[in-house]
């Protein structure tokens, strides 16, 4: 399947043009970030706003660095990531099972359609008070909220993905003698993957928001508490630069996941297999 | 070329708007915004509001009352310049003082019994609290949190020993959870919720704030005023101080009448309010007590960055610094 992807390395003209365009884009993007930060710094230092409320960027970076040095922010961050990975992991496994049953058993599909239309629009956070009553306040409650944020978007997208597979491809696969397993693995999953992947992206951002939100509304949830609790705590001690530092970490994680993880997965799957939505 | 000119204009306009927004609103000098919270401790403010005492001392005063859920929120409103007079526990005020928000105490409000309650029979001291138990209190940095830290330092050796087991909950939510024995294991709270909990069978007190945490009597809540407000209208500022004086004196002299008035506002039975107003350890006074001790402890434990020996740095000069500490 490797042959399908266009090999840019062989065509130096295309590569040069691409990198020129990329370079220009990169310049505009970094220029914007630096400019925005500079304006921020100037406004904060102009002295018209209280620096307690609107700290200069430099103060925020110093606060972030201090919090990294003491390990405080990393401790909270790793706890948040730990919860989210468990939540997403459970969510994906459950989705996989539910979707498999959905595709195979008609009545189950009908029931799930109803369940999805009830559960999908519900923000996980809105369920938290009820979940708390059932399992108590703790990591379990947050993980359930994350799982709820993962299952429905991934499932809806996976179903859409499997339904969009051209019948001819499946029939072709059967005709050349593929086993059922091979058919699912080599034809159905790659074809549905752009949809599944889009669902995963939504799941990631929804669960990340649910996690931070839950901790900010309901306080610490485990032994250390995650980033949301960190921001909450800092707010009540009026450590505003630390609050911004917490936001910065959330942004950085968002960018890392989006630019590195998601884009890499995309490159190795969707682009490589030459499938698009 | 044209595009960049338009872009430049847009950027300049945005900047102008931002800076104009920062200029601060010049308020009408007859207006004062007072922020209070929920609970028996705010009785002096309720009396000022109901008996229109600020209007009594300053004819034509426009008093706007807002009710917010926590000292932290009131502090943010003060910092943003939307509240002139706020009320909160002593530690949240000290955090504001540490961050130089430009406010000092205009009047203490009350002394109250605070404490940590649990339904676990085996928990008699902090030592018996296991790592999986959750302790609810209003927020980090609240007076309940600092009092718990004080007890932790005394009994467990470090002020932050239980910090990882804290859960932030409003007083009513926490009391509900404790009484129903769900979600939390212990609750650090204040009146009237502490009374509700202590009257529930199966709930007992682990810490009494004065006896086990602070080691003496201390002011629970204070009303604070901003420098900006004081400078923009000293007479109105004085009127607020006088109104609070009168309200506190009135509650102390007429607990019956006060209970009736408060009962109506708080939607409770007058008898019940009277019982709470005269509960042992409940006292209304304008002179703050124990602020310097709180500040020392908070500095030592790293919750604030500076301290002082001079109480007049913490209170406005309408109060007698010889009667404050």
Domain range list for chain B? 31-112+220-323, 115-214
Q: What is the pLDDT of residues B96-150, one digit of tens each?
A: 999 888 999 999 999 999 999 999 999 999 999 998 899 999 989 999 999 999 9
User: How many other C-beta atoms are found inside a 10 Å radius of the C-beta of residue A19?
Assistant: 12
Is A5 a residue whose pLDDT tops 60? Answer: no
User: How many other C-beta atoms are found inside a 10 Å radius of the C-beta of residue A252?
Assistant: 12
pLDDT value of position A226: 87
Of residues A67, A232, A236, the one with CA closest to residue B95: A236
B19 in A contact zone (CB under 8 Å): yes
Of residues B54, B257, B303, B321, the one with CA closest to residue A239: B303
User: How many other C-beta atoms are found inside a 10 Å radius of the C-beta of residue B276?
Assistant: 20
Is ipTM strictly over 0.85? no
d(CA B144, CA B69): 15
Residue B63 exposed, middle or buried by CB count within 10 Å (0-12, 13-18, 19+):
buried
Tell me whether residues A49 and B23 touch, CB distance under 8 A: no
Q: How many residues does chain A have?
A: 277
d(CA B95, CA B118): 29
- Tokens 């059922």 belong to residue: A180
Share of chain A above pLDDT 90, in %: 32
User: How many other C-beta atoms are found inside a 10 Å radius of the C-beta of residue B290?
Assistant: 21
For Cα atoms B84, B86, B89, give the angle at the middle one, nearest 5 degrees: 155
User: Parallel, antiparallel, or unpaired: how do β-strands B166-168 and B135-137 relate?
Assistant: parallel
B contacts of A46 (beta carbons < 8 Å):
19
Residue B31 exposed, middle or buried by CB count within 10 Å (0-12, 13-18, 19+):
middle
| Option in B80, B92, B165 nearest A53 (CB) | B80
Of residues A240, A245, A204, A211, the one with CA closest to residue A228: A211
- Tokens 């009962």 belong to residue: B263
Min distance B315 CA to chain A CA atoms (Å): 20
Inter-chain contacts counted by CB atoms under 8 A, chains A and B: 69
User: How many other C-beta atoms are found inside a 10 Å radius of the C-beta of residue A94?
Assistant: 15
CATH number listed for the domain at residues B115-214: 3.40.190.10
pLDDT value of position A3: 46
For residue B79, give every residue at least 6 positions away whose Cβ sits within 8 Å of its Cβ, in sequence order, or none.
A50, A52, A53, A238, B96, B101
Is A2 a residue whose pLDDT tops 60? Answer: no
**Angle of the A57-69 helix axis to the A72-104 helix axis, nearest 10:** 90
On average, the pLDDT of chain A sits at 85
Min distance B274 CA to chain A CA atoms (Å): 33
Of residues A95, A97, A103, A268, the one with CA closest to residue A170: A103
B20 in A contact zone (CB under 8 Å): no
pLDDT value of position A209: 87
- Which of A106-110, A258-262, B83-87 reaches the highest mean pLDDT? B83-87
Q: What is the pLDDT of residues B229-286, one digit of tens each?
A: 999 999 999 999 999 999 999 999 999 999 999 999 988 899 999 999 999 899 999 9
Q: What is the pLDDT of residues A120-138, one digit of tens each?
A: 888 888 888 788 778 777 7
Which stretches does DSSP call E strand in chain A? none
d(CA A108, CA A105): 5
For residue B78, give every residue at least 6 positions away whose Cβ sits within 8 Å of its Cβ, in sequence order, or none.
B35, B86, B96, B101, B103, B224, B226
Minimum mean pLDDT range among B28-32, B130-134, B152-156, B181-185: B28-32
Q: Do B31-112+220-323 and B115-214 fold alike per CATH?
A: yes
Read off the DSSP letter of residue B311.
G
pLDDT value of position A10: 56
- Would you say A63 and A241 are in contact if contact means Cβ atoms under 8 Å apart? yes
Q: Region A51-74: what's the mean pLDDT? A: 90
d(CA B310, CA B227): 18
Tell me whether residues A48 and B23 touch, CB distance under 8 A: yes
User: How many other C-beta atoms are found inside a 10 Å radius of the C-beta of residue B269?
Assistant: 11
Q: If DSSP states are collapsed to H, E and C, what string results for A152-174? A: HHHHHHHHHHHHCCCHHHHHHHH
Q: Which residue of A has its CA nearest to B23?
A: A48
Copy the structure tokens of residue A64: 């972030």
d(CA B91, CA A237): 10
B contacts of A219 (beta carbons < 8 Å):
166-169
Q: How many residues does chain B have?
A: 325
Q: B111 φ, ψ to 5°?
A: -115, 140
A contacts of B303 (beta carbons < 8 Å):
237
d(CA B263, CA B267): 5
- Tokens 């496994």 belong to residue: A93
d(CA B235, CA B237): 5
Q: Give the architecture-level CATH label for domain B31-112+220-323.
A: 3-Layer(aba) Sandwich (3.40)
Copy the structure tokens of residue A230: 């960190």
CA dihedral over A32, A34, A39, A44, signed as positive or negative: positive
Min distance B19 CA to chain A CA atoms (Å): 8
| Option in B23, B72, B134 nearest A235 (CB) | B72
Helix (H) or strand (E) holding A42: helix A12-45
Q: What is the pLDDT of residues B180-221, one digit of tens each?
A: 888 889 999 998 899 999 999 999 999 999 999 999 999 999
d(CA B303, CA B141): 8
| Option in A136, A138, A238 nearest B99 (CB) | A238
pLDDT value of position B93: 96
3-state helix, strand, coil in chain A (%, to 5): 85, 0, 15
Within 13 A of B166's CA, how many CA atoms are on the CB side? 28
Q: When comparing pLDDT for A225 and B40, which is higher?
A: B40
Q: How far is CA A13 from CA A6, A24, A192, in A?
A: 14, 17, 34
Of residues B171, B47, B190, B66, the one with CA closest to residue B116: B190
């Amino acid at each position: 399947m490797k042959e399908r992807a266009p090999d840019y390395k062989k065509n130096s003209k295309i590569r040069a043009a691409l990198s020129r365009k990329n370079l220009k884009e990169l310049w505009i993007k970094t220029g914007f970030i630096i400019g925005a930060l500079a304006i921020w710094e100037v406004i904060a230092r102009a002295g018209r706003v209280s620096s307690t409320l609107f700290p200069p960027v430099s103060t925020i970076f110093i606060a972030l660095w201090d919090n990294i040095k003491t390990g405080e922010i990393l401790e909270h961050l790793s706890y948040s990531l730990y919860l989210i990975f468990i939540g997403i992991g459970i969510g994906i496994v459950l989705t996989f099972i539910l979707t498999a049953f959905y595709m195979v058993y008609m009545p189950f599909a009908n029931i799930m359609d109803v369940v999805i239309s009830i559960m999908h629009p519900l923000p996980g956070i809105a369920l938290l008070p009820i979940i708390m009553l059932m399992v108590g306040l703790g990591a379990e409650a947050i993980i359930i909220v994350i799982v709820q944020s993962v299952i429905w978007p991934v499932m809806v997208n996976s179903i859409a993905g499997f339904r969009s597979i051209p019948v001819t491809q499946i029939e072709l696969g059967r005709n050349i003698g593929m086993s059922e397993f091979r058919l699912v693995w080599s034809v159905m999953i790659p074809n549905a993957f752009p949809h599944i992947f889009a669902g995963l992206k939504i799941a990631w951002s929804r669960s990340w928001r649910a996690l931070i939100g839950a901790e900010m509304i309901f306080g610490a949830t485990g032994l250390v508490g995650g980033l949301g609790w960190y921001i909450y705590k800092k707010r009540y001690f009026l450590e505003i630069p630390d609050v911004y530092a917490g936001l910065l970490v959330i942004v950085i994680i968002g960018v890392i996941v989006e630019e590195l993880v998601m884009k890499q997965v995309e490159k190795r799957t969707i682009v490589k297999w030459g499938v698009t939505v | 070329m044209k595009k960049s000119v338009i872009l430049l204009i847009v950027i300049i306009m945005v900047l102008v708007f931002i800076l104009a927004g920062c200029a601060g609103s010049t308020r009408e000098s007859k207006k004062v915004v007072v922020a209070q919270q929920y609970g028996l401790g705010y009785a002096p403010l309720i009396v000022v509001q109901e008996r229109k005492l600020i209007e009594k001392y300053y004819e034509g005063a426009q008093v706007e009352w807002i009710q917010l859920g926590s000292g932290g929120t009131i502090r943010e409103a003060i910092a943003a310049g939307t509240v002139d007079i706020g009320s909160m526990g002593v530690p949240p005020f000290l955090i504001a003082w540490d961050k130089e928000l430009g406010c000092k105490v205009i009047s203490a409000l009350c002394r109250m019994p605070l404490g940590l309650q649990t339904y676990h029979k085996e928990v008699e001291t902090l030592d018996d609290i296991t790592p999986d138990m959750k302790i609810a209190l209003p927020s980090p940095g609240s007076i309940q949190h600092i009092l718990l830290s004080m007890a932790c330092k005394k009994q467990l050796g470090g002020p932050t020993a239980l910090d990882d087991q804290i859960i932030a909950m409003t007083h009513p939510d926490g009391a509900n959870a404790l009484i129903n024995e769900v979600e939390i294991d212990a609750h650090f709270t204040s009146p009237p919720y502490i009374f509700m909990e202590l009257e529930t069978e199966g709930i007992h007190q682990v810490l009494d704030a004065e006896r086990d945490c602070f080691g003496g009597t201390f002011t629970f809540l204070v009303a604070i005023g901003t420098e900006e407000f004081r400078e923009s209208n000293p007479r109105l500022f004085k009127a607020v101080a006088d109104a609070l004086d009168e309200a506190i004196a009135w509650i102390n002299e007429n607990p019956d009448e006060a209970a009736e008035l408060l009962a109506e506002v708080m939607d409770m039975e007058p008898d019940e309010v009277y019982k709470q107003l005269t509960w042992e350890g409940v006292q209304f006074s304008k002179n703050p007590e124990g602020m310097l001790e709180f500040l020392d402890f908070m500095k030592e434990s790293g919750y604030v960055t500076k301290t002082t020996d001079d109480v007049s740095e913490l209170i406005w000069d309408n109060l007698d610094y010889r009667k404050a500490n």
